[in-house]
Amino acid sequence: MLTDFSFVRYIVAITFTALSYLAGIYIVQRKLKVIGSAAIGCLVVTIGYVSAILKFPILLIFLLPFPFGFFGLYLISDRSIKKTFYSYGAVWIVYIIFHVILSGIFHFHSLIPPWKLSS
């Protein structure tokens, strides 16, 4: 089991991942989908964390949350592939901004809380 897990970091990761999805959807679709964004944030962060606990290979830990986030985004984007791709691009731009800020403050990867970027 990962001993570096902190419930606070987990909640911060979920919150900022959900906010990334919320902002990305709003930028592209001009709709606020709070519940859907929160659900995707919880799902993506939890999948990343569980895969880390199960000691999956690092590449799989990194790649596993992507299809779940994309499919969740597709479901809340009126099942439009075009809206989903544009929204996903916007989500990643916002996410990278949050990631830079959070890694400086909390010293962890904001998608998968147990990953320390520096010691």
95 within domain boundaries: yes
Identify the CA nearest to 99 among candidates 36, 12, 33: 12
pLDDT in tens, 34-64: 999 999 999 999 998 888 888 888 888 888 8
- Percent of the chain exceeding pLDDT 90 equals 43
The count of structural domains within the chain is 1
55 within domain boundaries: yes
54 within domain boundaries: yes
N- to C-terminal Cα separation, the chain: 19
- Residue numbers of the domain that contains 19: 7-106
Work out the pLDDT band at 114, boundaries 50, 70, 90. low
115 within domain boundaries: no
112 within domain boundaries: no
113 within domain boundaries: no
111 within domain boundaries: no
Q: Which of 73-77, 83-87, 93-97, 98-102 has the lowest mean pLDDT?
A: 98-102
